[in-house]
Amino acid sequence: MSLVIMKFGGSSLEDDGKMKLVARKIIAKKNTYDNVVVVVSAPGDTTDNLLKMADKITSSPPGREMDMLLATGEMVSASLLAMALGSMCEKVVAMTGPQAGILANSNYTCAKIKKVNPKKIKIQLAKRNIVIVAGFQALNPRGDITTLGRGGSDLTAVALAAALKANFCEIYSDVEGVYTTDPRVVKNAKKIDYISYDEMLEMAGSGARVLQSRSVEVAKKFNIEIHSRSTFSENQGTIITSEEKIRRKKMEALLISGITFDENQVKFTIVDLPDVPGVAAKIFSRLAKIGINVDMIIQSAAVGKKNDISFTVSKRDIKKTQMELDKTAAELKDVVIVCDEHVAKVSIIGIGMKSNAGVAAQMFEILHKKGINIEMISTSEIKISCIVDELDMEKAVKELHKGFGLSKE
Amino acid sequence: MSLVIMKFGGSSLEDDGKMKLVARKIIAKKNTYDNVVVVVSAPGDTTDNLLKMADKITSSPPGREMDMLLATGEMVSASLLAMALGSMCEKVVAMTGPQAGILANSNYTCAKIKKVNPKKIKIQLAKRNIVIVAGFQALNPRGDITTLGRGGSDLTAVALAAALKANFCEIYSDVEGVYTTDPRVVKNAKKIDYISYDEMLEMAGSGARVLQSRSVEVAKKFNIEIHSRSTFSENQGTIITSEEKIRRKKMEALLISGITFDENQVKFTIVDLPDVPGVAAKIFSRLAKIGINVDMIIQSAAVGKKNDISFTVSKRDIKKTQMELDKTAAELKDVVIVCDEHVAKVSIIGIGMKSNAGVAAQMFEILHKKGINIEMISTSEIKISCIVDELDMEKAVKELHKGFGLSKE
Q: Using one digit for the tens of pLDDT, what is the confidence trace for B333-345?
A: 788 899 999 999 9
Residue A302 has pLDDT above 70, yes or no: no
Asked if residue A390 has pLDDT above 90, the reply is yes
Which of left, alpha, beta for B103 (phi over 0: left; psi -120 to 50: alpha)?
beta
Answer whether B50 sits within 8 Å of A86, measured CB to CB: no
A366-380 pLDDT per residue, tens: 999 999 999 999 888
- Shortest Cα distance from A29 to chain B (angstroms)? 21
Q: Does B1 touch chain A (CB under 8 A)?
A: no
Paired strand residues for B227: B170, B239
Residues of A in contact with B62 (CB under 8 A): 82-83, 86
pLDDT on residue B379? 87
Task: List the CATH code of the domain at A3-250.
Answer: 3.40.1160.10
- Contacts with A133 from chain B: Cβ below 8 Å: none
pLDDT band at B369 (very low <50, low <70, confident <90, very high): very high
**Tens digit of each residue's pLDDT (9 = 90 or more) over A227-278:** 999 999 999 999 999 999 988 877 565 689 999 999 999 999 998 888 777 8
Nearest to A65 among B82, B144, B145 (CB): B82
Strand (E) or helix (H) holding B404: none
Closest CA to B118 of B37, B172, B40, B41: B37
Q: How far apart are CA A248 and CA A238, in angstroms?
A: 16
Residue A299 pLDDT grade (very low, low, confident, very high; cuts 50, 70, 90):
confident
Contact B312, B378 (CB under 8 A): no
Q: Is B86 on the interface with A (CB under 8 A)?
A: yes
Q: What is the predicted pLDDT for the residue at B78?
A: 98
Contact B82 A96 (CB under 8 A): no
> For B88-182, where are the alpha helices, taking DSSP H only?
119-126, 152-163
Query: Which whole number is the average pLDDT over A321-325?
Result: 92
Question: Quick check: A53 and B72 CB within 8 A?
Answer: no
Least confident residue range of A193-207, B139-153, B392-406: A193-207
Amino acid symbol at B399: E
Tell me if B58 and A84 make a contact (CB, 8 A cut-off): yes
Interface of A with B in 181-210 (CB under 8 A): none
Q: Which residue of A has its CA nearest to B79?
A: A65
For residue B76, list chain A residues with Cβ-Cβ distance below 8 A: 50, 53, 69, 72
Closest chain B CA to residue A131: B65
**Structure confidence at residue A242 (pLDDT):** 95
Alpha carbons B243 and B216: distance in angstroms, whole number: 13
Residue A306 has pLDDT above 80, yes or no: no
Indicate if the alpha-carbon torsion angle B91, B94, B98, B103 is positive or negative.
positive
Closest Cβ opposite residue B68 in set A58, A62, A75:
A75
Nearest chain B residue (CA) to A81? B57
**Residue of chain B nearest A56, judged by CA positions:** B16
Of A327-336, A373-382, B35-44, B275-284, highest mean pLDDT? B35-44
pLDDT number for residue B403 = 93
CB spacing of A58 vs B83 below 8 angstroms? yes
Q: pLDDT-based confidence at A352, cuts 50/70/90?
A: confident
> Which listed CATH number (3.40.50.720, 3.30.460.10, 3.60.15.10, 3.30.2130.10) goes with A259-403?
3.30.2130.10
Average pLDDT of chain B, as a whole number: 92
Helices (H), B134-195: 152-163
Of B259, B264, B115, the residue nearest B180 (C-alpha): B259
In which band, very low, low, confident or very high, does the pLDDT at A401 lie, cut at 50, 70 and 90?
Answer: very high
pLDDT at B218 over 70: yes
A62 touches chain B (CB under 8 A): yes
- Say whether pLDDT at B307 is over 60: yes
Q: Closest by alpha carbon to B7, among B162, B134, B167, B130?
A: B134
pLDDT tens track for B162-193: 999 999 999 999 999 999 999 889 999 999 99
Query: How many other C-beta atoms can be found within 10 angstroms of the C-beta atom of residue A38?
Result: 31
Nearest to B83 among A57, A72, A75 (CB): A57
> CA quadruple A27, A32, A35, A41: dihedral positive or negative?
negative
- Per-residue pLDDT at A387: 94
Shortest CA distance from B90: residue in chain A = A62
Three-state secondary structure call for residue B275:
coil
- % chain A with pLDDT above 90: 74
Amino acid found at B197? Y
pLDDT bin (cut points 50, 70, 90) of residue A308 is confident
In this predicted structure, what is the pLDDT of residue A307?
Answer: 80
Domain map (residue ranges) of chain B: 3-174, 259-403
Identify the residue with better confidence: B38 or A283. Answer: B38
CA–CA dist B80, B72 (Å, integer): 12
Which residue in chain B is spatially nearest to A82 when comparing CA positions? Answer: B65
Tell whether B64 is within 8 A of chain A (Cβ): yes
Residue B409 confidence (pLDDT): 64
Judge: A53–B80 Cβ closer than 8 Å, yes or no: yes
User: Is B66 in CB contact (< 8 Å) with chain A?
Assistant: yes
Averaged over B107-111, what is the pLDDT? Answer: 94
B16, B59, B68: residue with CB nearest A79: B68
> What separation in angstroms does the CA of A42 have from each of A65, A73, B96?
17, 4, 19
Q: Would you tell me how many other CB atoms lie within 10 Å of the CB of residue A185?
A: 14
| pLDDT of amino acid B341 | 94
Interface check for B356 against chain A (CB to CB < 8 A): the answer is no
The pLDDT of residue B358 is 85
Amino acid at the residue A345 = K
Which of A53, A66, A68, A144 is the mutation pick for testing B, counting most B CBs within 10 A?
A: A68
| pLDDT, position B197 | 95
Locate all alpha helices (DSSP H) within B101-194, ordered by sequence: 119-126, 152-163
Neighbouring C-beta atoms of residue B106, cutoff 10 Å: 14
Question: What does the pLDDT look like over B22-72, one tens digit per residue?
Answer: 999 999 999 999 999 999 999 999 999 999 999 999 999 999 999 999 999
Task: Check CB contact under 8 Å for B69 and A57.
Answer: no
What percent of chain A is modeled with pLDDT above 70? 97
Q: Quote the minimal CA–CA distance from A254 to chain B in Å.
A: 46
The pLDDT of residue A248 is 83
Question: Which of A20, A58, A65 has its CB closest to that of B94?
Answer: A65
**pLDDT on residue B332:** 82
8 Å CB contact between A287 and A294 = yes
Inter-chain residue contact B68 with A143, CB threshold 8 Å: no
A:B CB pairs within 8 Å: 111
How close A13 comes to chain B (CA, Å)? 12
* Test the B interface: residue of A80, A87, A131 with most B CBs within 10 Å: A80
What b/e string do you get for B305-334 counting C-beta neighbours within 10 Å, with b at 16 or more? eebbbbbbbeeebeeebeebbeebeeeeee
Predicted pLDDT at B207: 64
Q: Touching check for B76 and chain A: CB below 8 Å?
A: yes
Interchain pair B79, A60: CB under 8 A:
no
Asked if pLDDT for residue B306 goes beyond 90, the answer is: no
The residue in chain B having the minimum alpha-carbon distance to the alpha carbon of residue A18 is: B57
Q: What is the pLDDT of residues A41-79, one digit of tens each?
A: 999 999 999 999 999 999 999 999 999 999 999 999 999
DSSP string, A117-129: -THHHHHHHHTT-
User: Taking 80 as the threshold, does the pLDDT of residue B310 lie above it?
Assistant: yes
SS3 B48: helix
Separation of alpha carbons B346 and A74, rounded Å: 47
Identical fold for domains B3-174 and B259-403, yes or no, is no
How many Å apart are CA B69 and CA A47, to the nearest integer?
15
Please check whether residue B397 touches A, CB under 8 A. Answer: no
CA distance B67 to A203: 41
**Residue A301 binned pLDDT confidence (cut-offs 50, 70, 90):** low
**Is B82 an interface residue toward A (CB < 8 Å)?**
yes
Contacts of A55 in chain B (CB under 8 A): none
**A72 near B CB under 8 A:** yes
Counting residues of chain B whose pLDDT is more than 90, the rounded percentage is 75
Is the per-residue pLDDT at B300 higher than 90? no
The per-residue pLDDT for A103 is 98
Per-residue confidence (pLDDT) for residue B254, from 0 to 100: 66
Distance CA B145, CA A221 (A): 34
Residue B204 vs residue A316, higher pLDDT? A316
Q: A62 and B54: CB-CB below 8 Å?
A: no
Looking at domain B3-174, its CATH superfamily turns out to be: Acetylglutamate kinase-like (3.40.1160.10)
Tell me the C-alpha distance between A25 and A273, whole Å.
Answer: 60
SS3 label, residue B206: coil
- Please name which of B36, B26, B30 lies closest in space to residue B4, comparing C-alpha atoms: B36
Is A86 in contact with B61 (Cβ distance < 8 A)?
Answer: yes
